[in-house]
Structure 1
């Protein structure tokens, strides 16, 4: 086998392994396997196989309830009137164990698992901060109004980050780089923070507040900054920095219910 062919085969194998790892992480199987092994080592059961069978049986029931609840939450957009009814159904699904017709109560760990499922495409560092702000203790009982508030905050966050991403791309469209002028970005973020500060108590108003950041506003601010400064080298802000700052502005407005 030639060196070129060997390198090609090695590259293919590496890519296949990466795809496998991506699948395991995306599906959650990797986390479940690690958790199962951790529980075996912690409990040291006499019959490890039976222990695993019971673990995955309960996990299957839990996963099914989570995905059924998530399905109800995605039947309609969160700003539609019917969404409140879908949230109530999702709460009932998670609160009722199999074999029981009456709600047993929703615990913090199941609530957190649902929020993780809803926000699975949010960058992990941001998701961790979000859950730390609104997430309860694992054994805490979650009441319907707390559940509705947290679910709404999660869906609004997803849309908010999408709008933030769109805003960043609108800003860099004014330049020929993948970064935005730091002063321009800071000005836009200050505008966003000011808009959020005067919002109403409705969560969806967080999204409406961003409408003031129009293309005309950005262009006007950009021209003022460029005319006022004669520096050749200006400080630039990356997309990650912009999203993090915008996220922190949102997180400050989230008021978790107890």
Structure 2
């Protein structure tokens, strides 16, 4: 009996300690923060999970500090605006645009961050046009787009500085920028496959065949999304591209014209995409 009493009294401090630890974590809100961080981690699936979590909590800490700082002057407001822009861009990098649910959630977070930039600058009904355009410029720059292509795309999508940009326009514009960036990367890969050997410009006829395939894929604009994606993918599949290139090479075997360098090919491919982007104004 005495042993039971001793064992019971020894276990009691452990139970109290466990309870106090649980209460501490609950009161500090650590559980919800960890769950949110792990959800972001699973959505993004980064190559460096530890670095991702470190950056995530750094952003969370800076946001807590900015919220607790109260009203800011002009200088502090500019610093806060830059901080919010950086955090918004970080959220937009978390998921590929093909992960549509996670990508849309991250766009919403970025939109809300930009909506809170400086109470004196806030525009009722959305993000200020100046911040919207700057955010798109950052997305294009972050994706490695050439200045000329990015400038043309931004000219299609930009709003006036004083305008209030609603969420749906913001979402569509960010999606357009990220899709265009990936399209250009794929176009560069196609050129590299055509240009053999790589130290000389590719045959113009082969480049034209690839550009025609891209044009046909971009013109696939009817029917449900899934059907359009499948049809567009089929038009630029390796089999279709090989067939088009073989036909071109057979027709031009006896005549060798001037080549096409990477920049000319990229400009032509970009023009095909940009011609289909609706102008905001």
| 2-structure distance, mates of 1:190, 1:179 | 18
Name the CA shift for 1:71/1:229 in 2 (closer, same or farther; >3 Å).
closer
> Is the aligned partner of 1:189 residue 2:211?
yes
**1:255 offset after TM fit, Å?**
2.3
**1:123 offset after TM fit, Å?**
0.6
Gaps spanning 5+ residues in structure 1: where? 1-53
**Partner of 1:113 in structure 2?**
134
The count of aligned residue pairs is: 203
Within the candidate set 109, 117, 141, 1:89 is matched to 109
| 2-structure distance, mates of 1:189, 1:251 | 14
The question of whether the paired residues in 1 share the 8 Å contact of 2:217 and 2:236 is answered with no
Give the alignment's TM-score, normalised by structure 2: 0.63
> Is the aligned partner of 1:75 residue 2:94?
yes
| 1-structure distance, mates of 2:231, 2:179 | 11
1:9-50 CA deviation, whole Å, 9 max, x = no partner? xxxxxxxxxxxxxxxxxxxxxxxxxxxxxxxxxxxxxxxxxx
**1:177 offset after TM fit, Å?**
4.3
> Is the aligned partner of 1:245 residue 2:268?
yes
| 2-structure distance, mates of 1:221, 1:88 | 42
Name the CA shift for 1:112/1:99 in 2 (closer, same or farther; >3 Å).
closer
Gaps spanning 5+ residues in structure 2: where? 1-72
Within the candidate set 166, 172, 190, 2:189 is matched to 166
Name the CA shift for 1:191/1:232 in 2 (closer, same or farther; >3 Å).
closer
Name the CA shift for 1:176/1:158 in 2 (closer, same or farther; >3 Å).
closer
Partner SS for 1:253? coil
Within the candidate set 80, 85, 89, 1:61 is matched to 80
| 2-structure distance, mates of 1:78, 1:165 | 19
**1:116 offset after TM fit, Å?**
1.1
Partner SS for 1:130? helix
Give the alignment's TM-score, normalised by structure 1: 0.68
The question of whether the paired residues in 1 share the 8 Å contact of 2:205 and 2:248 is answered with yes
**1:184 offset after TM fit, Å?**
1.5
Question: Alignment RMSD, CA only?
Answer: 2.9
> Is the aligned partner of 1:217 residue 2:240?
yes
The question of whether the paired residues in 2 share the 8 Å contact of 1:108 and 1:139 is answered with yes
| 1-structure distance, mates of 2:176, 2:157 | 9
| 1-structure distance, mates of 2:214, 2:107 | 29
Structure showing greater radius of gyration is: 2
| 2-structure distance, mates of 1:128, 1:177 | 29
The question of whether the paired residues in 2 share the 8 Å contact of 1:152 and 1:203 is answered with no
The question of whether the paired residues in 1 share the 8 Å contact of 2:159 and 2:280 is answered with no
